[in-house]
A and B are shown apart, each in its own frame.
Chain A
Amino acid sequence: MGSAARDDIEFRSVTKAYGAVTAVRNISLNVPKGAFLALLGPSGCGKTTCLRMIGGFEQPTSGEVLIAGSGMNGVPPYRRPVNMVFQHYALFPHFNVEQNVAYGLRQMRPRIPAQEIKRRVGEALEMVRLGGFANRRIHEMSGGQQQRVALARALVNRPSVLLLDEPLAALDKKLRSAMQIELQTLQRELGITFVLVTHDQEEALSMADLVCVMSGGAIKQLGAPQDVYDRPADLFVADFVGKTNHIQATLEADGRTLRLPDGSALDVGAERNIGAGETTLAIRPEAIRLTPGGEPRGEGFAGTVTHRIFLGSSVEYSVSVPALGDFLVTADRSTDEGQLVEPGQSVRLGFDPAAAHLFPASHAAQPEGNTHGQQT
């Protein structure tokens, strides 16, 4: 494909099997230099396995991983220009903070002078705002501080690629969002390619500039966060990235008239590029308009609010619509004129058909992995 030198990481038809379990099936992927890639997917979909193949801790069963244009088959971890922030940090308990951070520099040949090591370790600790902690022991550091030691220990070696395996999973919500911003800033400043593994879709969307959604060991979609959210490739991606409402329906032969289970017809605007027949319509909660009061003959669907979740800046409603099922609707507080709808109240739901996605029903939703459906 493209020129290899501009890609920091390339997967060429990589498959990894552990005995009978195929963790990664035939993945091809290019990550440009300086990108921030998020590997996103449910538990067991093969994210960690991909990361470990880049780090050199696992060898592909077939195919090849390339780093900065060179093939890595058979190259051990200690000869790869990548560093990893491990899921539980894996800091050395018998070293203090400074010794942990200096470890990688000490391994370099030709040797780096002690003075130089000390200076670079100091800089790295400043960078993660742990300036005064050089002599602390690891078990005297909080979770967030340990996370930053792990980050400094990896970055001090100036790798061309930094691998992060759910680095923020163990932190509380507030610290996590602070670290997300810090990581993103660091990545921009250093220009190092980051590969982040996460099963938190919000984290992936907010931090990365390239999101790779995986399921059952395969790539479902690779694209910018906005693309993945706005134009999901299939029902799995639509479900896994953000929240989605489904309507099972039948697409008529003209390619734009949808016959809904309640018997009504819905014009989906433009002709969609899928065959006629069983179809799933997916619509985001924030794309649905909710209007109080339910005259039965108005526009959209009549329903009843069953639950309300107040989220501060927005409100989530569960609305039960006869014959169509339950809908999740997100109302933005800044546009709803401060008017909260009470559970039990009748409402009408409407949406712009252009905001809806149609998928063939054979793409049946299986959000918990194991979807083997082909990619669109």
Chain B
Amino acid sequence: MVTAMLLGPAAAWLVVFLVLPFIAIIVFSFGERAPEGGYQPAFTLAQFANLGARAAAFANTLTLAPIGALACLLVAYPVAYYLAVKADPRHRMLLVSLVVVPFWTSMLVRTYAWMYLLGGRGIPHLLDLVGFSDVRLLNTPGAVLLGIVYGYLPLMILPIYVSLEKLDRRLLEASADLGAHPFSTFFGITVPLSLPGVMTGIALVTILLLGEYLIPQLLGGGKVFFIGNALVDLFLQSRNWPFGSAIAVTLVAVVVMVLLIAMRIAWRVAGTRQVDLM
């Protein structure tokens, strides 16, 4: 009874702001575009049949989001490891906040900065001076990837840092005591025991990337197009709500599938059911 009362507000909030809109999106996705734009009731699979028209956005998102998350991971793990294990405990909090502080300025501003750096008057200009002319950085998948790693790094570092931080140092000593080279200790003990943090980071970054809109827009130009961009376009520009809804529903289905698979893998590797993804 008390539990029900405590959970009540949260449940109501979820229903109003998450479940209801999601049902609306599902309903929309089976409808038709009204002549003047928006939604008009119908029951048709035409929107889903038309998904192919945005195949490029799907392809870009579904390749660059996981690749971006992996690239983030490769950069974040050593940083998190250094912060949690190697750094002097007295400076640890300062270093961790240095990781977070850039997050306090607007993502838009920071991405604009990269746009300038990668654009004609930025790095390519410098390269031109030393003899490499006509290097194109902006509006390439590489630029989008760079923006992703830069923008999402703290989200990957923090959960890994947390799981490495609470890793029992005596386990590492026990491993060394049993004859394991530091290398084997790292891959046999440290990495598996930090997997919950790694999985949380990957899930967090991947899910947010699937809806990413700003980075492809600014650093990818019109060329590297994400699902997020397609949605903005369909809902705000061409006002084709049913088609946008169908894309959104498909995206959610893909995310859920990715999550389920990720959890399976995490359970298998960590050998326990106590992997919390979120």
Q: Which residues of A contact B193 (CB under 8 A)?
A: 93-94
Report chain B residues within 8 Å CB of A79.
179
Q: Which residues of A contact B179 (CB under 8 A)?
A: 78-79, 104, 107-108, 157
Q: Taking the nearest CB of chain A, how far is it from the CB of B183, in angstroms?
A: 10
B170→A104 contact, CB < 8 A: no
User: In the bound complex, do residue A78 and residue B176 qualify as a contact, i.e. CB atoms below 8 Å apart?
Assistant: yes
Tally chain A residues at the interface, Cβ within 8 Å.
27
Determine whether B237 belongs to the interface, using a CB cutoff of 8 Å to chain A. Answer: no
A153 within 8 Å of B by Cβ?
Answer: yes
How distant is the Cα of A157 from the Cα of B271 in the complex, in angstroms?
25
Number of inter-chain CB pairs below 8 Å: 67
Whether B174 is near chain A, meaning CB under 8 Å from some CB there, is: yes
A78 touches B272 (CB 8 A): no
Asked if B180 CB lies within 8 Å of chain A CBs, one says yes
Given known A-B contacts A76-B176, A103-B178, A94 and B270 have beta carbons under 8 A apart: yes
* Bound form: Cα–Cα A215–B223 in Å: 74
Q: What does DSSP make chain B's interface, helix, strand, loop or mixed?
A: helix
Is the CB of B86 closer than 8 A to any CB of chain A?
A: no
Determine the interface band of chain B, counting residues with CB < 8 A from chain A.
20 to 34
Minimum-distance CB pairs A-B, first 5: A104-B178, A107-B179, A90-B174, A90-B170, A77-B176
Chain B positions within 8 Å of A56 at CB level: 176-177
Which A residues lie at the B interface, using CB under 8 A? 55-57, 76-79, 82-84, 86, 88, 90-96, 103-104, 107-108, 137, 153-154, 157
B176 CB to closest chain A CB (Å) equals 4
B residues 163-209 touching A (CB-CB < 8 Å): 168, 170-171, 173-182, 184, 188-189, 192-193
- Residues of chain B whose beta carbon lies under 8 Å from any beta carbon of chain A: 168, 170-171, 173-182, 184, 188-189, 192-193, 270-272
Q: In angstroms, how far is the closest chain A Cβ from the Cβ of B76?
A: 21
- Tell me which residues across on chain B come within 8 A of A77, comparing CB atoms: 173, 176-177
B188 — nearest CB in chain A belongs to which residue?
A: A103
Q: Which residues of A contact B192 (CB under 8 A)?
A: 94
CB neighbours (8 Å) of B178 from chain A are: 78, 83, 103-104, 107, 153-154, 157
Residues of A within 8 A of B182 (CB): 78
The answer for the CA separation of A56 and B272 in the assembled complex, in Å, is: 32
**Alpha-carbon separation in the docked complex, A12 to B178 (Å):** 25
Task: Give the distance to chain B from A88, nearest Cβ to Cβ, in Å.
Answer: 7
In the bound complex, what is the Cα–Cα distance between A79 and B182 (angstroms)?
A: 11
A86 to B174 CA separation, bound complex (whole angstroms): 8
CA A162 to CA B173, docked complex, whole Å: 15
A95: chain B residues within 8 A (beta carbon):
271
